[in-house]
Structures are given as structure tokens and as C-alpha cells.
Amino acid sequence: MGCGTQTQVSKVADTNKLNDKNYGYSVLVFGDRQAGVSEIYDTETNGYSYNAYCMEKTLVKELYTCEYDFLDDALHAINKEFGTWELETLRIVCTPDFLK
């Protein structure tokens, strides 16, 4: 179906920071730029690392990326660099066939 990349953005009023509870569905936004934290699964270690990133949404170009072993470190880096940006939550509006 190919609609897994479609998102609807709504504003979050309570805080302006990413944290261990909202990083999976929230991002920091300024204009056409988006910053957040994504998970990277390593099949060899059977564990996760965390990618702190900033991207240009229109060009779909990554402007900043840094991999961390610990979620707290990735969140700290993103909030330190982009913490003045607006926190928004992402919601999937349709489900790809392979997830049904």
C-alpha cells in the first residue's frame, strides 16, 4: 500500500522536550526541519542503539546524525541542540498491508 510514511502532525502543549516516553512518536520541528531519536536494532548483539538526527523534510536530507548506545544520551543531545524547537506528535493515518 505504501502509506506507512504518511503522518498527521498535531501540536503537543505540555512540554518542549523529547523524553523516554514520547521519543517514539514525537519530534522537534522548526520550519521544514525535524529532529528526533530513532531506534536501531542490531541482530548480532540482539540490542538497540539510538540515532539522534535532524533532517530537512522537503529535500528528505539528513543534516545531523549521531549514534548512541544509551537512549538518555541521544535524548540529551537532541534536546540540547534543538530543544527550542516546537514539539509535535506524529500519528500514522493508514497502515501498510504488511502490518495488517
The pTM of this model reads 0.76
Euclidean distance between CA atoms 27 and 39, whole angstroms: 14
Q: Which residue has the higher pLDDT, 41 or 14?
A: 41
CB 20 within 8 A of CB 95: no
CB 76 within 8 A of CB 12: no
pLDDT digits (tens, 9 = 90+) for 7-27: 444 454 446 799 999 999 999
pLDDT digits (tens, 9 = 90+) for 44-89: 999 999 999 999 999 999 999 999 999 999 999 999 999 999 999 9
CA angle 55, 56, 57 (to 5 degrees): 105
Please give the grid coordinates belonging to residue 71: 537512549
- The reported pLDDT for the residue numbered 91 is 74
